[in-house]
Amino acid sequence: MAALSPRQTERRYLWTIVTWLFIALCLFALIHLLAPVCNSTRMVSQTAPGVIDASQPGADPATVAASELAAATERRKADEVRSLAKIRLLRLRHAADDVIALTKAFEREHDEWATLTTALLSDERGTRLATDTNAVQAFRSLTQLDFCHFSRWS
């Protein structure tokens, strides 16, 4: 394997750092997205210290009812948190699907543009375009844009 140039080594190093940062960001987002779901799994059981069992001798019916109401309220809150987390996850999936669709559309348009520009050099459309000076200037300005100065990696 050929030795890498210093510039290639720097790019590979920076790309590795960016990759690790992206992975850390994704894990951080996943943890914060799933934290409400994980925390809501703590259900109040009938054997918990604060819950009074109705089968215990001498248990006050009002106290038992209040304890059951508190347990039901906790379960309902946990269900609501779980439902909200599911809604957030669905929204995140839809946003990711939108980004993927936009990326694919951009790639398709880029491929079409690349095909069109190479075809213009040899077909009839290119000769018609060459007769209009304004169109030639516009085409030159589009094809000679230097996008590399926007990128630090080039």
| Tens-place pLDDT, residues 15-56 | 888 888 888 888 788 777 777 666 655 544 444 445 555 556
| Tens-place pLDDT, residues 110-124 | 888 878 877 877 888
Q: How confident is the model at residue 74 (pLDDT cuts 50, 70, 90)?
A: very high
Burial class of residue 67, CB neighbours in 10 A (0-12, 13-18, 19+): buried
Both tokens of residue 130? 């060459």
Predicted confidence at residue 110, as pLDDT, reads: 82
Domain boundaries, the chain: 9-39, 60-145
- 150: DSSP letter: G
pTM: 0.43
